[in-house]
Amino acid sequence: MATICAVVATTHHPFYLRASTAPPEERPPFADEWVGKVEAFRETLARARPDVLVMVGSDHFHQMWLDNLPQFLVGKAPFYDANYYNEEREFGLPRMLLRGQEDLSTHLLREGLDAGFDLAFSNELRVDHSITCPIITLRPQNDLPIVPIYTNIFAPPMPQPKRFVELGRAIRTIVESWPSDLRVAIIGSGHLSLELGGPRQFGPHGPDPEFDQKAVAWIASGDIDGALAEVTLDSLWLPGNATHGFMDFMLMMGVAGAGRPADYVDTLDLFHTMEAYFTWYPNGVDQ
Amino acid sequence: MSKYLLNKFLFTIDRDPELVERYRDDPRGTVTWWEAERANAILNLPEAEASTWLRFTDEEREALSTHDYPRLFALGAHNFLTLTLFIALFERDYAEPLGFQLEYARRLADFSLPYPDIST
């Protein structure tokens, strides 16, 4: 059976590429610290020696639209083109092409459906920065095949937070039952408190630093019950109007397992939002 | 009230570089044209299989026609769609990095929680 070599949860800040590659005169003052933290985080994935990446993210109204919006979707294709004109325009993100691990997509869909998750699928999916930002930060050589999984954290009505946790648990079990000798890293990207298109956006910190501290503690300690006791679809509007992206972190807590502390935790307090990076090694890692 | 249609306008303009420029230069004309020609197109269907019932309210049409993003926020347009498109329209007019984004936040400063509902 496949080995889950790493579980990784990360924010996806679309400005990282631009901040880290800007010429010296345009380089923001926080760029060096940010690059240092991202490179250290990248090393936590490299040490796990993955062969395949399961990438959990959320389409930002690119290919998914309100006339036909899946709650959870698994890509099943040999390739995924990536990034969109408006991401190139706003963030300077490049067009990319990622390879797909189609047999793992097939396995996830079949087993996920049989486990009670009515997963949508796509045979022609163009992924966006929720998938590509973690590739840029964690695996910039973009040399590994992926299975993209999209969640709806964007358009009400959304699934309940506990459903994200349950799907994370199911993904863990299903990947572990994949008849393969490959090493799989499961990577998910979300947000801590975040405001987009509201009065609290683009402040000197994230819109709710107190929520961010609590959220980091939940994730770092694997405190799923603590998170579920406080986080509801209604409560997530309060820390910032785009904070439902935290449910992707809750999904990753489900993958990592209740009560399982992260093996690596780092944060960076930036303008607009806090960056947060977590890695678990379910089966240990070579020192 | 047709929050869905507001969002559909923002979504379909934002993804087309030519329409972004057209909406920046001629908001009222672009909204009039779009409502007549595009509002009822179902995005993954042939033109002949369009809807027949979608139209803006007067208030929605006016908000779009005047680039009035605080009003769009009040009407429950999706905050991400409005922000993304309006950055494309107006960021270029501000010398400082994030100048428009901060002005945008200031213009919404009178809103407090709970914000207008974006459910469609």
pLDDT, tens digit (0-9, with 9 covering 90-100), for A230-239: 999 999 999 9
Examine residue A151 and state whether it is found in any structural domain, yes or no: yes
Show residues of chain B in contact with A31, CB under 8 Å: none
What number is the ipTM of this complex? 0.96
Residues 6 or more apart whose CB falls under 8 angstroms from that of A208 comprise A193, A238, A239, A240, A243
Q: Render pLDDT for B23-45 as a digit per residue (tens, 0 to 9).
A: 999 999 999 999 999 999 999 99
**Shortest CA distance to B8 belongs to which of B52, B50, B56, B47?**
B56
A2 alpha carbon, distance to own chain's centre: 21
Q: Residues A242, A201: contact at Cβ < 8 Å?
A: no
Q: Does position A217 have pLDDT exceeding 70, yes or no?
A: yes
pLDDT digits (tens, 9 = 90+) for B59-77: 999 999 999 999 999 999 9
Residue in A closest to B109 by C-alpha: A199
Average pLDDT value for residue range A111-134:
98
A284 in any annotated domain: no
Residue A12 lies inside a defined structural domain of this protein: yes
Measure in Å the smallest separation between the Cα of A135 and chain B Cα atoms: 23
CB neighbours of residue A110 within 10 Å: 12
Q: How many domains does chain A have?
A: 1
Of all residues in chain A, the one with the smallest CA distance to B3 is A66
CATH number at residue A136: 3.40.830.10
Q: Given pLDDT bands bounded at 50, 70 and 90, which one contains residue A26?
A: confident
- Whose structure tokens read 């929720």? A130
Structural element, H or E, at residue A55: strand A52-57
For A139, A180, B56, the CA distances from A2, given in Å and listed in that order, are 20, 5, 53
Which of A67, A85, A154 has its CB closest to that of B80? A154
A220 in a structural domain = no
In a domain, A216, yes or no: no
Answer yes or no: is A231 within a domain: no
Domain range holding A115?
3-189+244-266
Residue A68: phi and psi, rounded to 5, are -175, 80
